[in-house]
Chains A and B, each alone.
Chain A
Amino acid sequence: MKSNLEEKFKSAFDEFELPYNPQAWNVLSNKLDLVSPVKPKTTTRFFGKSMLYIGAAVVTLAIVGAIFYYKNSEKQKITTQLAQENQIVESNESKAGSQTKETTNITANKQEHVASSTTTSQTVQQTGNKSNQEVHKTVEVEKEHTISKVGTGNGSASDSKPRETTTVIPTENNKPIKPEVEQIAFIFPELDANLCENTIISFANKNNTELTIVSPSGKQQTIQAHKSANIHLTEAGTYTFVSPKTKTSTTFIVKEIPKVDFQVNTESKYENGIPTTVLEALTNDGNLEWTIENNKNQVGETAVAHFYKRGNYNVTLTQKNSNGCVSSTSKSVFIEEDYNLMAPTAFVPNSTDSRKNKFIPYALTIRNTDFKMYIIDPHSGTVIFETESREGWDGYDKNTKQLVDTNKSFVWKVVLVTPEPNEQKEYSGVVTRL
Chain B
Amino acid sequence: MDLQKVIEGCLKNDRRYQERLFQLYYGNLLVVALRYISDRDTAEEVLQNGFIKIFEKLDAYDFKGSFDGWTRRIVANTAIDYIRKSKKDPILSDSDTDFVNHTYDPMEESEDLQNLMLKGDQALEAIQKLSPAYRTVFNLYVIENFSHKEIAEKLGISEGTSKSNLAKAKLNLKNMLTQQFAKIQK
Interface string of A214-249 (1 = CB under 8 A from B): 101110000000000000000011101010000001
Given A5-B173, A17-B27, A29-B15, does the pair A24, B48 have CB atoms closer than 8 Å?
yes
Given A20-B27, A32-B15, A36-B56, does the pair A9, B143 have CB atoms closer than 8 Å?
yes
Determine whether the beta carbon of A36 is less than 8 Å from that of B16. no
Q: Give the A interface residue count (CB, 8 A).
A: 48
Say if the beta carbon of B120 comes within 8 Å of chain A. Answer: yes
Determine whether the beta carbon of B55 is less than 8 Å from that of A8. no
Given A4-B114, A9-B127, does the pair A24, B15 have CB atoms closer than 8 Å?
no
State the CA gap A21–B26 with chains docked (Å): 8
State the CA gap A331–B142 with chains docked (Å): 46
State the CA gap A419–B81 with chains docked (Å): 62
Report the interface size class on chain B: 35 or more
Say if the beta carbon of B3 comes within 8 Å of chain A. Answer: no
Say if the beta carbon of B6 comes within 8 Å of chain A. Answer: no
Task: List the B residue with the shortest CB-CB distance to A42.
Answer: B14
Given A4-B109, A9-B123, A32-B55, does the pair A17, B84 have CB atoms closer than 8 Å?
no
Say if the beta carbon of A38 comes within 8 Å of chain B. Answer: yes
Q: State the majority secondary structure of interface residues on B.
A: helix
Say if the beta carbon of A16 comes within 8 Å of chain B. Answer: yes
Interface string of B87-98 (1 = CB under 8 A from A): 111011000000
Interface string of A245-285 (1 = CB under 8 A from B): 00001010111100000000000000000000000000000
Determine whether the beta carbon of B15 is less than 8 Å from that of A18. no
State the CA gap A216–B84 with chains docked (Å): 7
Determine whether the beta carbon of A237 is less than 8 Å from that of B92. yes
- Distance in Å: Cβ of B87 to nearest Cβ of chain A: 8
Determine whether the beta carbon of B48 is less than 8 Å from that of A12. no
Complex interface: chain B residues within 8 A of A32 (CB): 15, 18, 52, 55
Determine whether the beta carbon of A240 is less than 8 Å from that of B174. no
Determine whether the beta carbon of A240 is less than 8 Å from that of B85. yes
Interface string of B146-168 (1 = CB under 8 A from A): 00000001111110000000000
Which single member of A15, A18, A36 contacts B55 (CB below 8 Å)? A36
Determine whether the beta carbon of A5 is less than 8 Å from that of B120. no
- Counting from the closest, the 4 A-B pairs by CB-CB distance are A16-B120, A17-B27, A12-B123, A237-B156
A-B contact pairs, 22 of them (CB 8 A): A4-B113, A5-B106, A9-B138, A9-B173, A10-B142, A12-B120, A13-B143, A16-B28, A17-B31, A20-B27, A24-B26, A27-B48, A32-B18, A35-B56, A36-B55, A36-B56, A38-B15, A42-B14, A216-B84, A216-B156, A218-B87, A251-B84
Extra A-B contacts (8), CB below 8 Å, given A17-B30, A27-B44, A238-B84 = A5-B106, A8-B113, A9-B127, A18-B27, A21-B26, A28-B51, A156-B16, A216-B89
Q: Which A residues are within 8 Å of any B CB, using their own CB?
A: 2-6, 8-13, 15-21, 24-25, 27-29, 31-32, 35-36, 38-39, 42, 156-158, 214, 216-218, 236-238, 240, 242, 249, 251, 253-256
